[in-house]
Amino acid sequence: MSVLNESVRPLVWLGIFGVVLVVSTAAGAAQGDHAAAVVNGPIVFVAGPGSDLFTVRPDGRLLRRLTKGPGVDGDPAWSPNGRTTAFDRTSPNGRVTSVYLVSTVGGEPRLLVRGARSPGWSPTGRWLAVFRSNVGCPNGGCPNAANVWIVPLAGGRPRLAVAGAWSAAWSPSGRQLAAMRADGIWIVTLATGTMRRLTTISAKTSLDWSPDGSRLLLVLNDSIVTVSTSDGSSTTLLPPPTPVLEPPRCTQPSISGPTWSPNGRLIAYQREDSCAPGSGQPQGTLSIGVIGSDGSDHAGIGTQNTSYDVGAWFYAWSPDSAQLAFLDDEQDSTGHIYLSVASPFTSTIHHLNKDADLGTPAWRAAAPTH
């Protein structure tokens, strides 16, 4: 493992965001209120030639290894109490991916469920939701779908929660799961196992449940949309963005992965721009956009040094909702992928580690001091 590379450099704002927009006074005050109540703790991320898990403080200090092979580790997720990290590990031969648990102070990982991926903690910490394949699919027509299983942390057998789901999200109470399937969005109540179809809207998109429980967040035809969890009505927050240059020089940008900030006031999303050779623009650019929860336009993060750098991707909100942890992929210009943190409202990026590997980091709050 290379030594920690902590650096700060100016952020390159890309043309896709235009000028940096000023956050409204109300939004800024809300962020400050939330930041005063929450202290950002460590970040867990994938790094090194062995694709192992490490943690680091948001100031770039106290780099610690959590896992060490065999296989490729990914999808780390903090437990709500911050004492355990769930992750998936793919065997060295690439044939099996399973979910493990490891203490946040290190130690030998414990196998939780074989043949599963993408663990997600319930807000209560009592359950883990995981995806498992080849266990059935509604109507036999769900290409690339999986099945959502829930695993009790106190012991017991995993049980199937939703068959044929493309994505899923926990409710803030931890009592329900929302799942996207080919036949719409379904809400599952864990205590009873009952399911109700919220809407027939369907797309191969991520889902994220708002912190107040009132809305689900998703992408539909490159628009960011919310769906009411009470009546299934939908609202478009961000219509399809315009290309950097008119087609055919640049194509319609692709939008994915919208995620609520912990305080519910902001939404981060991934934007991918593609332009033709000779257009004067990079052929491919990944950047992170941020809007208000009401759809107001805010700002974003772009980090491309050369036309062949990938840009900013694989992101997670800070617990205080003021920053994003993400990968600054500069393999073309510097030969490195940096774990980085930045506020989407300022012009500075902090590089925490130059040996990050592909995978979404996870950020938890600091333990209380009293």
Which tens digit of pLDDT belongs to each residue from 9-30?
223 223 332 222 222 223 333 3
- Under the banding of pLDDT at 50, 70 and 90, the label for residue 144 is low
What does the alpha-carbon distance between residue 91 and residue 331 come to, in Å, rounded to a whole number? 26
Q: Nearest 10 degrees: CA dihedral of 344, 347, 350, 355?
A: 80
Spell out the residues 6+ positions from residue 231 whose beta carbon is closer than 8 angstroms to its own.
Answer: none
Average pLDDT over residues 158-178: 95
Distance CA 279, CA 294 (A): 34
Lowest mean pLDDT, pick from 24-28, 201-205, 244-248, 296-300: 24-28
pLDDT at 155: 83
Return the minimum-mean-pLDDT range out of 34-38, 331-335, 353-357, 362-366.
34-38
Proportion of the chain in helix, strand, coil states, percent, rounded to 5: 5, 45, 50
Which pLDDT score is estimated for 137?
53
Instruction: Give 7-364's CATH code, choosing from 2.70.98.60, 1.10.3720.10, 2.120.10.30, 3.40.50.720.
Output: 2.120.10.30
pLDDT tier for residue 261 given thresholds of 50, 70 and 90: very high
Query: Which pLDDT does position 302 carry in this prediction?
Result: 87
**In this predicted model, what pLDDT tens digit does every residue of 315-326 receive, in sequence order?**
999 999 999 999
Residue in the structure block whose two tokens are 């044939």: 95
Least confident of 12-21, 26-35, 107-116, 198-207: 12-21
The full set of domain ranges for the chain reads 7-364
HEC per residue, 149-195: EEEECCCCCCEEEEEEEEEEEECCCCCEEEEEECCEEEEEECCCCCE
339/86 Cα distance (integer angstroms): 20
Chain segment 343-359, per-residue pLDDT in tens: 998 879 999 999 999 99
Position 105 scores a pLDDT of 87
Mean per-residue pLDDT over the chain, rounded: 86
pLDDT of residue 368: 62
CA 220 to chain centre: 18
* Burial (CB count within 10 angstroms: exposed 0-12, middle 13-18, buried 19+), residue 123: middle
Q: What is the pLDDT of residue 346?
A: 86
Q: What percent of the chain has pLDDT over 70?
A: 86
- Average the pLDDT over 257-284 and give the result: 94
Locus of tokens 């400050």 = 32
Does the pLDDT of residue 246 top 70, yes or no? yes
Check residue 134 and give its pLDDT. Answer: 60
Q: Alpha carbon of 139 to those of 133, 164, 181, 210, 248: distances in Å?
A: 15, 9, 11, 30, 39
pLDDT at residue number 369: 52
pLDDT at site 25:
26
Mean pLDDT value of segment 121-145: 76
From 113-117, 234-238, 287-291, 305-309, the region with the lowest mean pLDDT: 305-309
Beta pairing partners, 186:
179, 197
What pLDDT, on a 0 to 100 scale, did the predictor assign at position 94?
86
What does the chain come to in residues?
370
Counting residues of the chain whose pLDDT is more than 90, the rounded percentage is: 71
Lowest mean pLDDT, pick from 143-157, 238-252, 260-274 = 143-157
The tokens describing 296, both together, are 């107001």
pLDDT at 318: 98
Instruction: Note the pLDDT tens digit of each residue in 278-314.
Output: 888 888 999 999 999 999 978 889 887 777 889 999 9
- Cis, bond preceding 361 (omega within 30 deg of 0): no
pLDDT of residue 2: 22
Coil, strand or helix at 64: strand
Contacts of 196 (CB under 8 A, 6+ apart): 186, 187
Q: How many Cβ atoms are within 10 Å of 210's Cβ, its own excluded?
A: 18
pTM above 0.85, yes or no: yes
Question: In sequence order, what DSSP letters do the residues of 92-160 get, joined into one string?
Answer: TTSS-EEEEEEETT----EEEESS-EEEEE-TTSSEEEEEE-SS--GGG--TT-EEEEEEETTS---EE
